[in-house]
């Protein structure tokens, strides 16, 4: 049941996103589109309640319950940036909006971008670990919690990898070819 619910919530996320953006840009109904987009967190709430009910009804805590916690963590930490990313592209493609903002390529600006991205992943992982810990306490000594502990360990790896990537851009900032400036310079040709 939980895996099916996760799939339904994922499909629902994209359906609500497409519907909200279509209302916002194609139907020229920005308030209605925003209202539809605000329904996104309801999906996570439904998943959280269903997972708790499933555990309460005696289901053995396993990888599916851990996956539900990770999905909710992702939605909290990265849901807004995912919606913003899709919104920029939808507006550009279908509503004549400006081109999507690209992340900086070089120097300090790129390092800051990577730290912000790492921060989102850390938030997602911490939320997931908190939900996993709540499930562990909820199950208590009455069941096997090794799968939930395994998901917590995976979240530590996610945090470590993202912090390592951000740190690498800080310690070894990417530079444009043939220069040390923070932005790539356009080539100019002078008359000989």
pLDDT in tens, 148-175: 999 999 999 999 999 999 999 999 998 8
- How many alpha carbons fall within 13 Å on the CB side of residue 54? 20
Per the prediction, the chain carries an average pLDDT of 89
Provide DSSP, 86-154. Answer: HHHHHHHHHH-PPPPPPPP-SHHHHHHHHHHHHHHHHHHHHHHHHHHHHHHHHHGGGS--HHHHHHHHH
State yes or no: pLDDT of 124 exceeds 60: yes
d(CA 63, CA 52): 14
pLDDT confidence tier of residue 58, bands split at 50, 70 and 90:
confident
Percent of the chain with pLDDT over 70: 93
Average pLDDT score over residue span 42-70: 88
Residue 177 token pair: 């070819």
DSSP letter for 182, please. Answer: S
d(CA 72, CA 41): 9
Note the pTM of the prediction, 2 decimals.
Answer: 0.84
- For residue 96, is it left (φ>0), alpha (ψ between -120 and 50) or beta? left
């Amino acid at each position: 049941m939980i895996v099916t619910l996760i799939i339904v919530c994922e499909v629902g996320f994209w359906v609500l996103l497409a519907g909200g953006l279509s209302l916002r840009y194609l139907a020229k109904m920005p308030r209605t589109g925003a209202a539809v987009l605000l329904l996104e967190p309801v999906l996570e709430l439904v998943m959280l309640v269903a997972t708790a009910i499933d555990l309460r009804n005696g289901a053995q805590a396993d990888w599916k319950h851990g996956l539900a916690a990770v999905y909710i963590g992702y939605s909290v930490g990265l849901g807004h940036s995912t919606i913003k990313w899709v919104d920029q592209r939808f507006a550009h493609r279908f509503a004549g909006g400006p081109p999507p903002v690209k992340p900086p390529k070089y120097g300090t600006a790129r390092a800051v971008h990577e730290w912000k991205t790492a921060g989102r992943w850390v938030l997602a992982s911490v939320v997931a670990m908190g939900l996993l810990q709540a499930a562990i306490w909820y199950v208590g000594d009455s069941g096997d919690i090794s799968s939930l502990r395994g998901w917590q360990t995976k979240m530590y790896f996610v945090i470590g990898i993202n912090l390592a990537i951000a740190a690498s851009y800080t310690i070894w900032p990417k530079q444009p070819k043939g220069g040390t400036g923070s932005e790539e310079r356009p080539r100019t040709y002078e008359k000989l």
